[in-house]
A and B are shown apart, each in its own frame.
Chain A
Amino acid sequence: MAEQDSATPQAQAAPKPPWEEKPVAPQPQDAREHPQVREIAALLPDAVVAATEFAGQVTVAVPAERIGEVCRACKDRLDYKFLVDLTAVDWQGRPEGRFDVIYWMHRFSDSRRLRLKVLLADGVEVASVTSVWKVANWMEREVFDMFGIYFANHPNLERILTWEGFSGHPLRKDFPIEGIDTGAAIYPDVYPPGGGPVAGEGGE
C-alpha cells in the first residue's frame, strides 16, 4: 500500500484502469444490417420484424405464426444445430401482446449465437419447435407450466415442475409471490373453495 501512495501523483496522470471508471452500460443498436440478420432476411423475406443488438447479442423479432418455419430454416439452412435455451417473459399490460417467447440458438461452425423473439398475446398458441430440436420438449413444457403458453403440436404438453392439477402459472406477473390457494383446486373433496392450505401459513 505504501508504494501505491507514493505513486499517486503519476497514477492521477495515467488513465485509470477500467475497473475504477464508472461503468458504461451497453446501448441497444439497430442490427438489421448485421450479417446474422441478413442471412435470415435473405432466406425468408418479411420474417424479420425487427432486429437489435445489445451487448454483442443479436435479437431478431419474428412473427409468431412463422416461428416454426424460421426455426426450421435456421437449423437446416443456417446451421443453428443447437438450441441452447427457450424461455418466455411476461410483459403484463403490454398492448401489442403479453408474452415474449425467446429462442436462443447456437451454431458450431463459427461459434455464433442468435436470439429469436416472438410476441404473443395471452391465450394465443405458438407452434412447437420440438420437431426441429428435440431438446425443446422439456423447455416448452416448462414455459407452458410457468407461463401458460400453449405450444401447438407438442407431443406431451404437461406440467413439468409443478404438479398435475396445480392451478395457475407461477411466473406470470399477476401470480402472487406468496402463493395462491391451490388446495381447493387439487383436493376439492377435502377443502372447500378458498379453504385450502395457503403457502406462507404455518403448515397445517
Chain B
Amino acid sequence: MTQAQLQETAHIHTLREESGDRKWWEFFTFSTDHKVIGIQYLVTSFIFYCIGGVMADLVRTELRTPDIDFVTPEVYNSLFTLHATIMIFLWIVPAGAGFANYLIPLMIGARDMAFPRLNAVAFWMIPPAGVLLTLSLAVGDAPDAGWTSYPPLSLVTGQVGEAIWITSVLLLGTSSILGAINFLVTILKMRVPGMGVHQMPLFCWAMMATSALVLVSTPVLAGALILLAFDLLAGTTFFNPTGGGDPVVYQHMFWFYSHPAVYIMILPFFGAISEILPVHARKPIFGYKAIAYSSLAISFLGLIVWAHHMFTSGIPGWLRMFFMITTMIIAVPTGIKIFGWLATIWGGKISLNSPMIFAMGFLGTFVIGGISGVMLASVPFDIHVHDTYFVVAHLHYVLFGGSVLGIFAAIYHWFPKMTGRMINEFWGKVHAVLTIFGLNMTFLPMHKLGMMGMNRRIAQYDPKFTSLNEICTYGSYILAISTLPFIINAVWSWLYGPKAANNPWGGLTLEWMTTSPPAIENFEKLPVLTTGPYDYGVSAKIVDVNKVLSIKPDEPYPTIESNV
C-alpha cells in the first residue's frame, strides 16, 4: 500500500460527495469563504495579467524599430509605467495571495481563514484600484514616470496621472497588508491539532516568510507615497529639490519596500514549487528544514539589501559595500533551495505533465535570473549595467521565469482541486513549451543589449541594436500567443472537463484529503495527520489506521513521523 492510498484510507470518512452547494454567482459577491476569495483573486489577477501583457506587447512593438513610429513618447512612457505597476501589484502579488487564500486553510486543516471578513475586504480593494489605474489611459493623463515614480520627475509629468498612480498603489498596498495579517495568524493559530511547524507544508512556510516581509516593508512604501502626494498636490518639498527636499530619501523609502517586494513576489512560488516537485517526482522533498528556514533567511536578508538599486545614485562608498555583501549573501539560501529541488527530482519517477514542465522550466530559467542577480550585486559591474536592458533581462528572468512560471505550475497543479475538473494535458503542454520558449527568446538577448549600451525606458535607440530588438519583439508575440491555448483550455475544462478525483496526483498534503472541489466547510471532520507532507515512498512504516481514527476528538492526534 503506498502512502497516498494509506492516507486516503485514513480519511475515508471525508470522502463524501458534498460539493453541490456553491452557486456560480457567489464568485461575484462579498463572500467570506476563503476558497471563493482565492478564486476571485486568481481570476482578477489573471485578467490584469492580460491587460499588462497587451501593454508589454505595445512597448515591444514600438521597440521593434529604433525610431519613434508607433506611439508618442508620452504614451510609450505611460505604457511601460502601467505595464510594470499592473504586473507587480495586480498580477504577481495578488496571484500569490490567491493561492495563499485557497490553499493555506486546506493545507493546515482549517475551515476558513482567521479573519474571513477582513479577507474579503482585502480582495475587494483590488478591482477598483486596478480599474482606476487602467482607466487613467483613457483620461489622457496616465502616469508616465516609471513604476519607481522618482521625484522630481514624477512631480512634473502630470498631476492627475501621478495622483491616480499613488491612490491605486496605496489601495493595493493596503490590501496586501490586510492579506498578510490574515495569512500569518491563520498559519500560526489554526493548524489542525498534531501539526507542528515542522509538519507544515512548505508553501505555508513560504507564505509565513512572505507575510512577515509584507508587514514590515509595505507601510514604508505607504509613507513614501503619502509624502510624495503632499509634494505633488499640496506643494510641500519633502522630496522636491527646488525647495530643499531630498529626492534620494524617496529612493531609499521606495526601495525599502520594493526590493522586499521582489521576495514577496517570488517566495510564494518557491513554496508552490516545493509542493509540486515532490508530488510529480514521487520523492520526498530533499532537505525539508533547509528549504523551510531558507525562506525565513531570504525574508530577513531581503530587508537589508534595498540600496543595491541605488549604487549609482549617491550613497557613501562603505554603504555600497555593505549592500553588495548582503545582496550576495542572499544567493546562499536561494542556492540551498535550488540544489534541494534538483536533488528532489534526482532519482525520482518524474511524470512530465504540464505542472511539472512548468516547475522544471521554473528551475531552468530562474537560475539565470539568480546568476545575473549576483553579477548585479557587484558594485563595479552594476555601475556599468544599472538602468540598462541587462537589468530588464534580470528582472524578467526572476519575475517571469520565476514567479509567472511558478503561477502557471501552481494553476495546473491545483486546477483539479479548485474546479473539480481535469485540465486538458495536451494544450497544457503546448502552453508550457510556448511560454518557456517565448520567454527565453524575449529576454535572453536583453542581457547583451544592456551590456553593449542600450539603456532602459527609452522609445528610441541606437540603430546598431535593431536586430536583437527584433528578436525580443517577436519573442514577446510568442508569449502573447502562448496565453491563448491556456485561456481556452482553462475555460473549457472548467465547464466541460472530465470530473477530477479527490486526489488525482496522489499528493500527501491535506488539501488532497477532501473532495474536489472542497466542501463549503472544507472538511466534513477535521483531518488526521498520519504522514508528513512529503513521505513519498516511505512504505515500511506500520500505521494502524483504526487506532488513529479511534482517538477521541478532544485528544491531540498522534503524529506519525517518518522513520527515514
Task: Tell me if chain B binds chain A.
Answer: no
Interface residues of chain B, those whose CB is within 8 Å of chain A, are: none
Interface residues of chain A, those whose CB is within 8 Å of chain B, are: none
